[in-house]
Amino acid sequence: MSMVEFKSVTKAFGSITVLKDVDLKVEAGEVVVLIGPSGSGKSTLLRCINALETIDGGDLVVDGISVKEGRSRVRMIRQEAGMVFQQFNLFPQMTALGNVSFGSRKVRGLGRREAEEQARELLAKVGLAERGHHYPSELSGGQQQRVAIARALAVKPKLMLFDEPTSALDPELRHEVLRVMQQLAEEGMTMIVVTHEMSFARKVGTRLIFMEGGKISVDGDPAQLLDHSENPRLRDFLQHVH
């Protein structure tokens, strides 16, 4: 069984069709990098997986559960699919430790002590062991994003979705986030990443998908596609992001 399976998924916002009959299978352990021009549907595709967007046609099955099965089943999908946002979206009224322990307490039902102990381990893993008592506003963008990754991991997902995780960061802060993502990939986490970081795609990605106009137009090995793609629009796109 695939971790994620899109079966001719269609999604429209009003009169604009953002996803057109998308078929896609992602297997456990894959690190899929999604690229494409803005408006090509890559973020929407990602957000359909954990049902932050509802699909209009076709079916989408995540770890055996369809996004169309209803609210409580959708919550189970969300617990299996952690998400990291471009704008971090940390809870501003909670410390880093509070943010990371929140999910395991309120979703997995752990007690405070157990949840905080686990949160400390996760913060250490993302290199922020010393920052647990800081509020998001007291952290740099790179640190906030690493806390956000730890927060998503605390619910123990099988799959991680990254929606342009480094786009809101200064260039010098990006590598610290990318390093944590690489480490996750090396541990075998299934990941789907919308990004413009081509070095990450090459080094960490097991698969590169190029989207345009709501469709997947190229799907293959990252290194090969980045160096010699047959698709002229992908080559053109890559020239602009490099």
Partner 1 sequence: MEFDWSVIADAMPTLLSGARVTILITLVGLAGGMILGVVAGTMRAYGGVILNAIALAYIELIRGTPMLVQVMFIYFALPMLANIRVDPLSAAITAIMINAGAYIAEIVRGALLSVNKGLREAGLALGLPTWKVLFYIIGPLAFRRMIPPLGNQFIISLKDTSLFIVIGVAELTRQGQDIMSTTFRAVEVWSAVAILYLVMTGVMTLVLRVTEKRMRIL
Q: Which residues bind partner 1 (CB under 8 A)?
A: 50, 52, 71, 75-79, 81-83, 85, 87, 89-93, 102-103, 106-107, 148, 151-152, 155
The 10 Å Cβ neighbour count of residue 181 is: 25
Q: How far is the CB of 106 from partner 1 (least distance, A)?
A: 6
Which residues are CB-neighbours of 16 under 8 A, at least 6 positions away? none
At its nearest, how many Å lie between partner 1 and the CB of residue 220?
Answer: 29
SS3 for 131?
A: helix
Nearer to partner 1, 80 or 197 (CB): 80
Report, in Å, the least distance between residue 41 CB and partner 1: 18
Q: Among candidates 185, 180, 188, which has minimal Cα distance to 202?
A: 185
| Cβ-proximal residues to 109 (8 Å cutoff; 6+ apart), any chain | none
| Beta carbon nearer to partner 1, 142 or 222 | 142
Rounded least distance, CB 103 to partner 1, Å: 4
Quick one: angle between helices 141-153 and 171-186, nearest 10? 20
For partner 1, the closer of residues 151 and 207 by Cβ is 151
Pick 14 or 92: Cβ nearer partner 1: 92
Cβ proximity to partner 1, 137 vs 239, nearer residue: 137
Cα–Cα separations (whole angstroms), residue 87 to 37, 67, 140, 141, 175: 19, 25, 12, 9, 17
User: What residues pair up with 13 in beta bridges, in sequence order?
Assistant: 16
- Least distance to partner 1 from the beta carbon of 157, Å? 9
